[in-house]
Amino acid sequence: MEPEIDDKTVELMNTSGMESPNLDDLSPKKNTVLKLSNGPVVGSRKRPSEGNYEKEKEHCIALFDQWSEADQVEFVERLISRMCHYQHGHINSYLKPMLQRDFITALPAQGLDHIAENILSFLDARSLCSAELVCKEWQRVISEGMLWKKLIERMVRTDPLWKGLSERHQWEKYLFKNRTSEVPPNSYYHSLYPKIIQDIETIEANWRCGRHNLQRIQCRSENSKGVYCLQYDDDKIISGLRDNSIKIWDKQSLECLKILTGHTGSVLCLQYDERVIVTGSSDSTVRVWEVTTGEVLNTLIHHNEAVLHLRFANGLMVTCSKDRSIAVWDMASPTDIGLRRVLVGHRAAVNVVDFDDKYIVSASGDRTIKVWSTSTCEFVRTLNGHKRGIACLQYRDRLVVSGSSDNTIRLWDIECGACLRVLEGHEELVRCIRFDNKRIVSGAYDGKIKVWDLQAALDPRAPASTLCLRTLVEHSGRVFRLQFDEFQIISSSHDDTILIWDFLNVSTNGQSEGRSPSRTYTYISR
């Protein structure tokens, strides 16, 4: 098919003093010579340039300048489509440098330093190192924009491990502040970043290899021994004991600061926030205590038997009992707590509950996990799979992890009710479980604490033998309760002790159960 000639092309040639060619003259050049060898590609014109070429060229350019941008693009596209591959290569070489722009240098030249800083602030550590080496202007923008400081601040805001390190190592005092004489230069944060990476590597290696510094609190109960529950923060540990008392310990000195008494049975569960401590007991009551004074603010009498577990958050509290029921409470204030609904469905003691704004999840000695709607308190579904009663669970982000007296741990998808994985390793009833986005930590009546790789457990291809990272053996009795964060595990036991397993402050002569495998991180030093 012969190419089509539009009116604009004909007009251009007429005004140029050129004769209208026949259609063959506008077809792709047929006599272009290409040398297909290891040497350069050579092309030849159809005809040599004649004397009127310069005049014709200037006239074409003058017409081209009169057209709209859209028309210019269309015309150039038509010209390029009629060229051979050799000519395309020349045009590409000509365009490449025109399309490359140093926008970082160009922006400050226009008085737009803040835009250049904002663009570079999205880089990770590896890219930021490379950017500093581009040229002096890029390095200046990074330095004056304090971009290493901003990178560290972004990590502290989004990663709990970074946040915890900033608090413990005291370099948080240099973050999130405007530029003043008290703020160190950009070079300080540049050198700080690899030190933080090294700290993270050390902590992860300590978790994998079981290296820790161990601290022990001897509770010295006078009558019945055993610590059934606990919770901690950076300043204190609050524990509930079998001797009916609640003891508050200083986190640093490990001294007992206060003893709360009032329950007439063992304190089986507790939770606290900045205002109140809420406890459940085998005396069937729930008590609300003021944190600072230890005064009893409220006593809830509803369950007929021992209150085995409780959770509260955002004005809602859920308690469960040996009487097989679950109570949902509205907490307007510590002194204004009203019963909203009683959930009945389990056929044995309800040992544990957890909830968020979507689901309430409960587990029982009847071997089932039941799911209820948080907003309507209507029953949703039952999760079945454990062969014996379920003693503990945690629920978060659609994942439920449960432990049972069949000595196993199961991972469930709460939305579809499917069991994703079964973890085996404990020799007796699994009594307590906690997990975060990296690991599961479980404690059992065999006196052992096991650390599991959560991400591997969620991968069906991961061999079962690789899932348990470490077994910690220090308790001489049943492990009743534990809590952990990125730096430590704190556990309590029937042996009347609270143990603090510190994976951050490990002495050089501390415990070591193997060498850490090498790891690769994204930071590259200049």
Identify the pLDDT of residue 478: 97
Identify the pLDDT of residue 510: 45
At 50, the pLDDT band (50, 70, 90 cuts) reads low
Which has the minimum average pLDDT: 22-36, 183-197, 511-525? 511-525
Half-sphere exposure of residue 34: CA atoms within 13 angstroms, side-chain side? 8
Helix spans in 393-442 (H) = none
Identify the pLDDT of residue 17: 41
Identify the pLDDT of residue 488: 96
Averaged pLDDT of the chain: 86
d(CA 436, CA 179): 36
pLDDT(34) > 60: no
Identify the pLDDT of residue 357: 96
CA-wise closest residue to 480 among 261, 228, 179, 245: 228
Identify the pLDDT of residue 381: 97
Half-sphere exposure of residue 419: CA atoms within 13 angstroms, side-chain side? 15
d(CA 45, CA 83): 11
Which has the minimum average pLDDT: 125-139, 458-472, 490-504? 125-139
Identify the pLDDT of residue 509: 57
Identify the pLDDT of residue 94: 86
Q: What length is written for the chain?
A: 526
pLDDT(39) > 50: no
d(CA 360, CA 43): 77
pLDDT(36) > 70: no
Q: What global pTM score does this model have? A: 0.77
pLDDT(251) > 70: yes
Nearest 5°: phi and psi at 105?
A: -75, -35
* CA 173 from centre of chain: 24
Strand order in the sheet with 350-355: 350-355, 359-364, 368-373, 379-384
State the pairing for strand pair 479-484/336-344: unpaired
d(CA 116, CA 103): 8
pLDDT(102) > 60: yes
Yes or no: say if 220 and 242 are a contact pair by the CB < 8 Å rule. Answer: no
d(CA 325, CA 312): 17
The 10s digit of each residue's pLDDT in 290-312 is 999 999 999 999 999 999 999 99
Nearest 5°: phi and psi at 363?
A: -135, 150
Identify the pLDDT of residue 476: 95
Yes or no: say if 318 and 300 are a contact pair by the CB < 8 Å rule. Answer: no
d(CA 191, CA 168): 18
Task: Name the more confident of 174 and 252.
Answer: 252
Handedness of CA 13, 14, 16, 22 (dihedral sign): positive
Please name each of the domains of the chain with its CATH number: 103-201 (1.20.1280.50), 209-502 (2.130.10.10)
pLDDT(174) > 60: yes
CA torsion angle for 375, 378, 380, 386 (degrees, to 10)?
100
d(CA 495, CA 43): 91
